[in-house]
Structure formats: C-alpha cells, structure tokens
C-alpha cells in the first residue's frame, strides 16, 4: 500500500471538531472521526467533509457499539494506509466534572468511555495518543479509572506520561481554561532529543515571573473577542433573547466586569453554592475570559454577559474564545452550538499540544527514510 505523506489522525469523541481543526492547521491528515451527537455530527460534516478534497470518514455512532475493526478497515480502503499515526480525543467528561458534588460522578457510565478510548488504542496501535479531559479526572474518587488506563497501556506496549494540567491562557487562548492532557507513545518508539513535554508556554501575564525569560511576552485578554464586529451573514452571530426584567438587570450591571451583586440579581439559589458568584456577571475585557462551558451563551450559567451590551455573548463570541476560525459554522441552534463549543478543545491549545507529537513524527519519518 502507498503511505500517506502527511501523518494520520483519528479523532475519537470528536464533537464539533476543535481537536480535528487543530490537527489540520498544523499539517496532520484527518482520516476518521467518531461522534454520536447528531448536531455535532452535522457541524463536523459541514466543516470537514462537505466540498472538501479527500475528507475524513465520519462515523456517526455510539463508540460503545462501534468496533475498532469497523473503523480501521474503511480507512485502509479509502486512504491506502496500514496504520494510523495518532489517536486524539476527549471522552465525555461530565462524570469527572467539578460541578458534581460529594461522590456524584463516581461509577458514572460515561467514565467508562475513558477505558473504551484505550480499547481503540489497543486495536489500532497508533504511534502516539492524546487524551484530554477536565481536571476532575485527577480527583481521588476517580483514581481507579486512571489507574486502570495506565495499567492497560503498559500491558499493551505503551508508555504514558503522567497527566498534566494545562491552562489555555498560557498558550494564546483568551480564556482561563484548565484541562488535563495525557500523552502516550508506543514502546517501540524512542523520544528524540528535541522532545519537550509539556509544550512550552507561549503567553504570560506581565506580572508573571516567566516574563523575565521571554523577549516578547504577550498577555491574551478578552478584548480580542469583541474588537472585531460580527458579520451580518454569520448564522452564529446570535445571542439569547432575554425578558424585559432581565434586560433591565443587565442595564444596571456595570460595564466591563460588573457582577450580579452590583445589579442586585441575587436569588435564593445563589446563596447555597460559592460557585454561583459569577452568574449574570459581565465579561471583563482586560483579563482572560471565563472558561467557555456548555452554557457559555447563557448569563445564568456563569460570567457570560456581554461586556458592554445588555445580553449574553453570541455563539460567535464563544467560538472566538475557543479560537475557532471565523469560517467555522456550528449547527443545531444556540443551545446545541453552545454545548459543542464548551465541550471542544480550544483550537490554538490543540495546535500547541499536537505540535509536540508532529515534531516527533517528522523526526521519526526522516530517520527511517
């Protein structure tokens, strides 16, 4: 079989395609993606497949019902390749979320998808793999899942780096967003002398100590999201419609960082949990933005009120926070689009992470030419 010139990638739990977008941007060849959500599949299809040359195969399936052999055989037929270089993906993370209290989330069926991810690694035998998840994955209550994952990796010929927490704001993404990344490689492959993990930070606060080691430090602020006007023909330039009562509350909230306390939007539920401190708050443009969650266009779900206008941010604003290109269109309406965006890997962070693997594959390819 002829080999593909570009290094090949399969995206498991692909969602809208944030990780896929990152892989394409730095020169990987997407050969397949697996996703179960209908709206996310529509988004993925429209952005990666329709009218594209040699697009990836999209498997619109529950990964628990889709066997690895049924994925790799169509890939071999379409792309004439014997193996896949990299598997990427973020298994659904709700069971590991910090928003779950006490022991909720323990034994959540969705947590088993982390182990299903490894079954694909076992069968497809990629050279490298990357897992992305929320920081709650590292909590003591979920230890058995992570321990089993590492044990399976070792038993099947993979070495895996310890899990690391990366904050997207340190890599050019204009939001505070901490996520866990796990990097693995096949044991028959050696790291090069250029290998560097975690990826070096590219952006720092002006007050951070790291600045002294950087000639041109940058600090990513939320103002980059709102300086560019929204295109009138952009189907994602939409925001939630609010009641007149809420609009009045928003109007009384100080611009550029005001909180609900200042506008007296205090409900009984807000007193129960400290996590409600930011709901109905305005985004502050002189700081990195808040973490884009699955409710990122709804001001009742967090600090998602437009910094100057009296409504929540638009789907396009949320997508910009996740560094999706302006041409990337989300399907399924505002609620589904917000969920897709909140679940995605920020494109720029994905590029930084995957660059480490691409450098290794480039060196490996040159070595064995």
C-beta separation of 135 from 178 below 8 A:
yes
C-beta separation of 306 from 245 below 8 A:
no
φ, ψ for residue 270 (rounded to 5)? -70, -25
- Give the separation between CA 293 and CA 276, rounded to whole angstroms: 14
- Give the separation between CA 136 and CA 138, rounded to whole angstroms: 5
- Give the separation between CA 229 and CA 309, rounded to whole angstroms: 13
Q: Which residue has the tokens 């992470």?
A: 353
Scanning 156-221, the segments in alpha helix (DSSP H) are: none
DSSP 298-330: -GGGSS-B-SSSSSBPPHHHHHHHTT--TT---
φ, ψ for residue 12 (rounded to 5)? -90, 145
- Give the separation between CA 57 and CA 362, rounded to whole angstroms: 24
- Give the separation between CA 256 and CA 247, rounded to whole angstroms: 16
C-beta separation of 347 from 322 below 8 A:
yes
Q: Which residue has the tokens 């049924």?
A: 70
> Pick from 349, 293, 321: which is nearest to 25 by CA?
349
Spell 274-296 as b/e; 16+ CB within 10 A means b.
Answer: eebebbbbbbbbebbbbbbbbbb
C-beta separation of 312 from 305 below 8 A:
yes
Q: Which residue among the candidates 41, 93, 284, 296 is catalytic per the annotation?
A: 93
- Measured from the Cβ of residue 301, the count of other Cβ atoms closer than 10 Å reads 17
Active-site residue, 93 included: yes
Q: What SS3 state is found at 181?
A: strand
Q: What SS3 state is found at 358?
A: helix
The catalytic site residues sit at 93
């Amino acid at each position: 079989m002829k080999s593909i010139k570009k290094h090949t990638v399969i995206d498991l739990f692909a969602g809208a395609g944030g990780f896929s977008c990152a892989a394409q941007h730095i020169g990987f060849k997407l050969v397949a993606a697996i996703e179960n959500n209908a709206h996310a599949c529509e988004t993925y299809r429209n952005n990666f497949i329709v009218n594209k040359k040699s697009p990836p195969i999209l498997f619109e399936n529950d990964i628990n019902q889709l066997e690895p052999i049924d994925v790799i055989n169509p890939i071999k037929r379409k792309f004439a390749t014997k193996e896949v270089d990299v598997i990427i993906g973020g298994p659904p993370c709700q069971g590991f979320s910090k928003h779950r209290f006490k022991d909720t989330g323990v034994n959540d069926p969705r947590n088993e998808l982390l182990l299903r991810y490894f079954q694909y690694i076992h069968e497809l035998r990629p050279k490298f793999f990357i897992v992305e998840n929320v920081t709650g994955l590292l909590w003591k209550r979920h230890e058995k899942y992570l321990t089993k994952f590492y044990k399976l990796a070792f038993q099947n010929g993979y070495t895996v780096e310890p899990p690391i927490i990366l904050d997207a704001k340190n890599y050019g993404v204009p939001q505070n967003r901490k996520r866990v990344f796990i990097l693995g490689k096949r044991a028959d492959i050696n790291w090069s002398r250029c290998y560097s993990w975690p990826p070096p930070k590219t952006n720092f606060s002006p007050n951070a100590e790291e600045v002294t080691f950087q000639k041109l430090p940058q600090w990513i602020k939320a103002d980059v999201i709102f300086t560019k006007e929204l295109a009138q023909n952009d189907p994602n330039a939409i925001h939630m419609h609010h009641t007149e009562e809420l609009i009045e509350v928003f109007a009384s909230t100080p611009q550029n960082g005001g909180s609900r306390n200042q506008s007296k939007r205090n409900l009984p539920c807000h007193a129960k949990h400290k996590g409600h401190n930011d709901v109905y708050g305005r985004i502050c443009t002189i700081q990195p933005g808040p973490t884009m969650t699955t409710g990122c266009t709804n001001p009742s779900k967090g600090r998602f009120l437009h910094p100057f206008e009296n409504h929540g941010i638009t789907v396009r604003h949320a997508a910009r926070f996740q560094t999706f290109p302006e041409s990337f269109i989300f399907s399924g309406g505002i609620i589904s689009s917000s969920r897709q965006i909140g679940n995605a890997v920020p494109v720029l962070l994905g590029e930084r992470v995957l660059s480490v693997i691409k450098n290794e594959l480039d060196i490996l390819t040159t070595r064995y030419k």
